[in-house]
């Protein structure tokens, strides 16, 4: 059924919930697991003269995301699952769906936290909602309250 599962993972509380759900599914279906984290194409530093591209900031952010992925893979390994991980650079939904196609994923798992105020929901948008619209496969949204 779900032989290749892609987990969009950021180490957050809802990401941790998605990791647990993904782990249970992988156990049940004997699936291959791939974790991805997506960082923006450009990380700008705001200064008095406006935004300035800082390649050091990009390298630091990429290393931080790699550490998050490594920890997720360690948790899966401790539960008996082998997983691969990769930091992707670009627009979140585009990169996740492109990677899902690349590995022929049967399922994308993503965490989601319900936001209390309508303003927070409007401002943040919804990665999970956009994934459902653009995904080449099924999407499981692991919800935290």
Q: Quick one: which of 19, 11, 6, 142 has its CA closest to 69?
A: 11
Is pLDDT of 123 > 50?
A: no
The size of the chain, in residues, is: 145
pTM of this structure:
0.82
Show Cβ contacts of residue 114 under 8 Å, excluding neighbours closer than 6 positions. Answer: 143, 144, 145
Domain count, the chain: 1
In the sheet that 83-89 helps form, which strands lie side by side, from edge to edge? 83-89, 32-39, 4-8, 107-113, 138-144
pLDDT score, position 45: 52
Q: What would the pLDDT profile of 4-51 be if each residue is shown by its tens digit?
A: 999 998 888 778 888 887 888 888 888 899 999 998 876 555 555 555
Question: What CATH code is carried by the domain that includes residue 94?
Answer: 3.40.50.620
For residue 5, what are the CA distances in angstroms to 56, 66, 88?
Answer: 32, 19, 16
pLDDT score, position 34: 95
Q: What would the pLDDT profile of 71-115 be if each residue is shown by its tens digit?
A: 999 989 998 988 999 999 999 999 999 999 999 999 999 987 765
Q: Quick one: which of 144, 136, 145 has its CA closest to 18?
A: 144
pLDDT score, position 1: 81
Show Cβ contacts of residue 23 under 8 Å, excluding neighbours closer than 6 positions. Answer: 75, 76, 79, 81
E strand intervals along 90-137: 107-113
Averaged pLDDT for residues 47-58: 67
Q: Is 54 left (phi over 0), alpha (psi -120 to 50) or beta?
A: beta
Helical (H) or strand (E) element with 102: helix 92-102
CA pair distance 108, 97, nearest whole angstrom: 9
- Domain range for residue 9? 4-144
């Amino acid at each position: 059924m779900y032989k290749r599962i892609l987990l969009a993972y950021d180490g957050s509380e809802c990401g941790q919930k998605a990791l647990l759900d993904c782990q249970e599914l992988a156990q049940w279906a004997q699936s291959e697991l791939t974790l991805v984290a997506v960082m923006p194409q450009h990380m700008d530093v705001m200064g008095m003269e406006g935004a300035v591209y800082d390649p050091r900031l990009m390298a630091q952010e990429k290393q931080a995301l790699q550490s998050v992925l490594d920890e997720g893979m360690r948790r899966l390994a401790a539960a008996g699952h082998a997983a691969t991980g990769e930091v992707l650079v670009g627009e979140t939904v585009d990169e996740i769906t492109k990677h899902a196609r690349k590995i022929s994923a049967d399922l994308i798992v993503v965490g989601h936290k319900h936001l209390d105020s309508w303003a927070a929901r409007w401002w943040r948008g919804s990665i999970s909602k956009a994934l459902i619209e653009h995904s080449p496969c099924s999407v499981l949204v692991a919800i935290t309250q």
